[in-house]
Structure 1
Amino acid sequence: MPARIEDYALIGDGHTAALVSRDGSVDWLCWPRFDSGACFAALLGTDDNGRWLIAPAADTDAADSSDASRDDTHAAAQQHEEESDCTTSDASAKPKPDEKPVPRQAGKPPAQAARSEAGKTHTKSAAQRTKAPAQRAHDEHQGGDGTPGQPGYARSTRRRYRGETLILETDFETPDGAVTLIDFMPPGNGWSEMIRIVVGKRGTVKMRMELVLRFDYGFSIPWVSRLTRDSGIKAIAGPDTVALRTPVDLRGENMKTVAEFTVSEGERVPFSLTYSASHLRVPPAHDPHTALARTENYWLEWAARGTVEGKYAPAIRRSLLTLKALAYEPTGGIVAAPTTSLPERMGGSRNWDYRYCWLRDATITLLAMMRGGYYDEARAWRSWLGRVMAGSPEQLQIMYGLAGERRLPEFELDWLQGYEGSKPVRVGNNAVGQLQLDVYGEVMNALHLARVGGLQADETAWNVQCAMLKHLETIWEEPDEGIWETRGGRQQFTFSKVMAWVAFDRAVKSAEAFDLPAPLDDWRATRARIHADVCAKSWNPELNAFTQTYGGDALDASVLLMPLLGFLPPSDPRVAGTVDAIEKHLLHDGLVLRYRTTEVDDGLPPGEGTFLACSFWMVDNLALQGRVAQAREMYERLLALANDVGLLAEEYDPISGRLVGNFPQGFSHVALVHTGLNLMKHEQGMASAAGQPPHDGQGREPPAGTPDAGMQSSPVV
């Protein structure tokens, strides 16, 4: 059974990413791209669907017996061959005379790893449920009773990233000593590789390694053979090849590749797992320790380019680094999350594939990178956006593949039981074909911000924008599926109309500021017409709030963005009324729901956690209303919901005290960045370019003659 979502950490190399649990198990890794099939899919199934464990070994040989019987249920066995001999399933069998044997490590104990106890039912106290994930994880991994833990025999576990890098260090304390497990993926290799190094810190610790490779999302069992020139094995299934190199002796056991070894103080034992296409040669071996130094330099040099300073800088900089890890380096596209089908409610069906690039993320991601000082990443994302939006405006999609692929068919993987039984497990996303009018506003805002930030676009980009607006003029009054990608039919969503207004507003601003040719009178007239339409049809006087849809009575947290986008000033009483109404009706334990799924028919069974990005939007609104102390308190509570290495999922369940939804979620981290910078009054000039009013608690216009002057654009209605 997989770990809790908040118990995972992220490592990546700019092509893909892996999730590593506190207990040393890699339970999710898609190779060679973020959206490829997973070779480790235990996150959404069982250990038999693929994982890579390195952890202290248990002191009993019986701990693994239940798993051996479970492995016997497989229809086929993972085969281990000796060079050309395919008859043995034991990779440690005596080699042939012409074969290079895997070196053995003297004095290996015959220990086997203890298995996870996560399948047991644990009753948490109310006090324990209310703790933030990071503190609760710390408490629950400080054993002290000497009993075997999950999955190895460690009395306590601590972990961290090495400085401002994606190098994960996990400390295991056992009765016999202490070790540190270092996990990382070297960027810029020319191929994708994951390296794990066990470092002895104190005493002598018995360790166990267990590799279960299952390609194609835990389905395909590979054929395993020994490497002819290195110490290790090679696994092949269809188009995929993975090679494991290590000086430790390996053997086959119950359709797994396993090893037991000891590590004493000062010793370092490396493991390197490398991916390649099966028709190509296995990439050459590199020194793991040299790769570690190079990887550390890469991330430290990248982080040093950042400009964020202030009270919330550590969390903001970690979030920016996480966004960098979600970027597909060859194209500049940024995935929403590196996972699929982590549930928005445990046991529920709101499970989606987020390993694609949403245009909606364009504005906030591009602005976050620029506000953080990372203009190269912003430039790459802008270039990706320019490529995918090229073509007929009628064919603009809400999301694309990493390289701009348009077809992302959705299907279900019935052999995976789902995270904690949450089915179905989905690959692809049918929302790709939805009409979501807000993406036109996202694109226009993104490109306007790029120009303001000095990322000049060519003439073609402006011509494409003009064509998009011409099309938007003909469809903005139509119903759509909205920002939340509902599956209950199209409606007249308020936020979609607000973003249509943003599209024309930002186009007008770009044309005026950069002397671009445009039918400004027509655009201004359409902008004013949309604004009047929203204010007339979305305002509910009984609720004293803007509602989710025209003429509706359901609230929606997306309307919290109206003052942040400049649609209305924070001082407008309708904004204050909407904030009050959402506080009364959409807060759950002080955090914000998107909307009440029990009251809104979105085509899906009800039930989900609080949406973290919406809670950050509430923080911004509180600050704009002059409630700065309350805003800071809420922001700091949100920061405390991040796990012990600073990562957030899409949502948080206050009842169970757990992160839920895909993880880590780019949308949550971008919201964390913007709200933190706003609270620190950081880079207000760039924030104003996004249409945001100054965070002085009064909603006043910027003084004349300043960079922010004239950037507010709320028409008087």
Structure 2
Amino acid sequence: MPDYPLIADHGLIGDLQTAALVSTDGCVDWFCAPRFDSPSIFGALLDAARGGHFRIRPAAGAFTTKQLYFPDSAVLVTRFLTEAGVGEVVDFMPVGGAVATTSHRLVRMVRCVRGEMTFAVDIAPRFDYGRENFETHLSEDGAVFEGPRTAVTVHLVRQADDERIARTWVEDGDVRGEVRLAAGQMRGLMLQTGTAGPVRQMRVAEAQHLFEETVDFWEGWLRGSTYAGRWRETLNRSAITLKLMTYAPTGALVAAPTAALPEQIGGERNWDYRYTWVRDASFSVYSLLGMGFTDEAAALGRWLRDRVDEQADKNGGGPLKIMYRVDGSSDLHEETLEHWEGYRGSAPVRIGNGAADQLQLDIYGEALDSLYVADRHGLAPGHQGWLRICELLDWVAGNWDQPEEGIWETRGGRQDFTYGRLMCWVALDRGIRLAAEHGRPGPVARWERERDAVYQQIMDRGWSPTRRAFRQHYATDVLDSALLRMPTVGFVTPADPMWLSTLDAMDTELVTDSLVYRYDPAASPDGLRGSEGTFSLCTFSYVTALAGAGRLGKARVTFEKMLTYANHLGLYSEEIALTGEQIGNFPQAFTHLALIDAAIALDRELDRHPSVGRRGTVLAGL
């Protein structure tokens, strides 16, 4: 089997309409254009032999690599250290505007900072997941790869006297080359999508100007953060990562920029996450507002409102789809790429997402809660917005008491999931509050009646007397870490004995060395073979729950331990395997959202109790 880098051995760059992954050995092995959910141009991450790549690294000899982000930016620097010299590849994508475009630029600057170095360049695109043929045209200033539906142009960043520095050639349709540099010299390439030329001369000064513009954008954007807590650098990186996964033309946030990265190496839990979940978008509003990014929160709120409006126009208020494409369309037909082997042999490789049509009742609570939080930050809905909210709440009031697939998108059949009921309670509760606080009209008496019925049903059927804990669904005693949000949304108080007993039960069953599983699939079959790792979102939610319950020593140690599982750039995938390896789609928005929420909650509680965490108290948290 070909070599695959670890999932964590990547950095992310992007232009707010699409993104690329760059490995620590200088390889772009995942890049889709013109959007996150478009077919791939480079996909070696899912098939090293047939997926396509864009690699720049030392041409010969052993080398050591280091990777970092240029401070406060999404500009990625990969450093190569050899006996002959030190070189760098600086990768970035100039930020696009708020208008969707087919043309995107990926700039790769190559420089020698000490000694001398010859870089090997290998450009091997494979359009449409390797299903579209193309022709290659090479000139002295670059190359064009042209297929029936897709085209890419690569411009050489060069100086007039480069004949002795760089050489290129075509081999089996791919472009290969070498760049020989001495200390202080810089060259590079700019890949441009959506165009079949013309290739043009591009000078180093022009590329340097694009670099400075890109850094200026990210530094300026980050200055909008209001977070000044204990983990500022960590949260800044999470905020930049979330921004990189935002589609600027609509404000939609993808769950991850990747598809089919496995939750278990060699397993079948391989899903396409390049879409916008109502749940993720809703959670994003809390996190972004918590850091002061009101424009992004407002854009997500508008995206959610548009989805509600569309559903109201179609069928009177619901049900919503659980996920959409970044442009708001809902065709997410799932198919399998039979010709790709998958990451480290993890097949099937799925694109599209068949879970899009599942019924997941929790999304209504998350959407309404985010609108309520936005309202408290001055982003109140107008009259038409309120009418749509009323229609949505009327649907929830009439449909909450039915089996569903649940938050984890299980494929083992519908159940009466406690978390889904919990979030229906949240939806109705937030609607009632909005009506009261703004004097808005609506069938509040009905909403109150149904809200109270949901509450009573959860207490009667969602509580397991034998486990002394709230359970995953009414037909099982299995625990579910989604319920860590019960005190966060106000359904129970953090000190309620029923909640503390639930938290203790989760400690016993779902927590291992501070890492948290979603649930036990062996005890609660989810319709899929194999197992999975601990879920990073749930670990950060666990921190928030511990902090709220006053278990601050344990909360802080858990948080600090979890920070050690980040990759070298501070990025997180979906899950962590037993070995500590990051698995699942990468980076995952949900994880970075939960990290921000946990840090803010922990900061708040530590400020209230400043003695916690001092000498002699943290050890007790272990």
With the length of structure 1 as denominator, give the TM-score of the two structures. Answer: 0.80
Pair 1:284–1:187, CA change in 2 (3 A): farther
Distance 2:297 2:10 in 1: 27
Aligned to 2:302: 383
Pair 1:254–1:164, CA change in 2 (3 A): same
Aligned to 2:535: 611
Residue correspondences, number: 591
Aligned to 1:49: 51
Q: Secondary structure at 1:563's aligned position in 2?
A: coil
Deviations 1:426-484 (A, max 9, x none): 11001110000011111111111111111122211111110111111111000000000
Deviations 1:582-602 (A, max 9, x none): 110112333110011111111
Distance 1:395 1:239 in 2: 36
The answer as to whether partners of 1:165 and 1:296 remain within 8 angstroms in 2 is: yes
The answer as to whether partners of 2:397 and 2:446 remain within 8 angstroms in 1 is: no
Mind listing any 5+ residue stretches in structure 1 that lack a counterpart? Answer: 60-147, 149-153, 685-693, 699-717
Shift of 1:47: 4.1
Residue of 112, 115, 126 corresponding to 1:214: 126
1:246-261 alignment runs, 5 A limit: 246=156, 247=158, 248-261=166-179
Pair 1:683–1:444, CA change in 2 (3 A): farther
1:466-505 alignment runs, 5 A limit: 466-505=390-429
Q: Which amino acid aligns with 2:151?
A: T
Q: Which amino acid aligns with 1:212?
A: A
Aligned to 1:136: none
Structure number with greater Rg is: 1
Residue of 10, 17, 20 corresponding to 2:19: 17
Which is worse superposed, 642-651 or 40-49? 40-49
Is 1:239 aligned to residue 239 of structure 2? no
Is 1:203 aligned to residue 115 of structure 2? yes
Q: Secondary structure at 1:657's aligned position in 2?
A: coil
Residue of 398, 422, 428 corresponding to 2:346: 422
Aligned to 1:710: none
Aligned to 1:575: 499
Aligned to 1:273: 191
Shift of 1:283: 9.6
Aligned to 1:647: 571
Distance 1:683 1:665 in 2: 27
Is 1:317 aligned to residue 236 of structure 2? yes
Residue of 153, 161, 179 corresponding to 2:69: 161
The answer as to whether partners of 1:628 and 1:697 remain within 8 angstroms in 2 is: no
Q: Secondary structure at 2:8's aligned position in 1?
A: helix
Pair 1:181–1:498, CA change in 2 (3 A): same
Is 1:530 aligned to residue 454 of structure 2? yes
The answer as to whether partners of 1:624 and 1:697 remain within 8 angstroms in 2 is: no
Deviations 1:243-281 (A, max 9, x none): 111133320124421101211100001111000156x97
Aligned to 1:62: none
Residue of 418, 433, 448 corresponding to 2:357: 433
Q: Which amino acid aligns with 2:135?
A: W
Aligned to 1:677: 600
Pair 1:536–1:282, CA change in 2 (3 A): farther
Distance 1:55 1:582 in 2: 47
Which is worse superposed, 442-451 or 254-263? 254-263
Q: Secondary structure at 2:179's aligned position in 1?
A: strand
Aligned to 2:586: 663
Distance 1:406 1:639 in 2: 35
Q: Which amino acid aligns with 2:144?
A: K
Aligned to 1:511: 435
Distance 2:400 2:199 in 1: 53
The answer as to whether partners of 1:365 and 1:670 remain within 8 angstroms in 2 is: yes
Task: Please tell me the root mean square deviation across aligned C-alpha atoms, in Å.
Answer: 2.0
The answer as to whether partners of 1:624 and 1:696 remain within 8 angstroms in 2 is: no
The answer as to whether partners of 1:232 and 1:244 remain within 8 angstroms in 2 is: yes
1:557-596 alignment runs, 5 A limit: 557-596=481-520
Deviations 1:116-135 (A, max 9, x none): xxxxxxxxxxxxxxxxxxxx
The answer as to whether partners of 1:178 and 1:202 remain within 8 angstroms in 2 is: yes
The answer as to whether partners of 2:134 and 2:147 remain within 8 angstroms in 1 is: yes
Distance 1:450 1:683 in 2: 25
Q: Which amino acid aligns with 2:586?
A: F
The answer as to whether partners of 1:192 and 1:275 remain within 8 angstroms in 2 is: yes
Distance 1:219 1:283 in 2: 29
Shift of 1:48: 3.5
The answer as to whether partners of 1:276 and 1:282 remain within 8 angstroms in 2 is: no
Q: Which amino acid aligns with 1:670?
A: L
Aligned to 2:259: 340
Distance 1:377 1:598 in 2: 40
Distance 1:284 1:388 in 2: 45
Distance 2:606 2:362 in 1: 26
Deviations 1:44-96 (A, max 9, x none): 0014420011001114xxxxxxxxxxxxxxxxxxxxxxxxxxxxxxxxxxxxx
The answer as to whether partners of 2:136 and 2:174 remain within 8 angstroms in 1 is: no
The answer as to whether partners of 1:677 and 1:683 remain within 8 angstroms in 2 is: no
Distance 1:46 1:678 in 2: 42
Deviations 1:336-389 (A, max 9, x none): 000000000111000100000000013220111111111111111111111112
Deviations 1:469-526 (A, max 9, x none): 1111111000000000110110000000000000001111111222222222222221
Mind listing any 5+ residue stretches in structure 2 that lack a counterpart? Answer: 159-165, 613-622
Shift of 1:407: 1.1
Deviations 1:653-676 (A, max 9, x none): 1x2220000000000000000000
Deviations 1:600-635 (A, max 9, x none): 111101300000111111111211222101100000
Distance 1:682 1:236 in 2: 57
Aligned to 1:5: 7
Pair 1:428–1:697, CA change in 2 (3 A): farther
Distance 2:200 2:472 in 1: 53
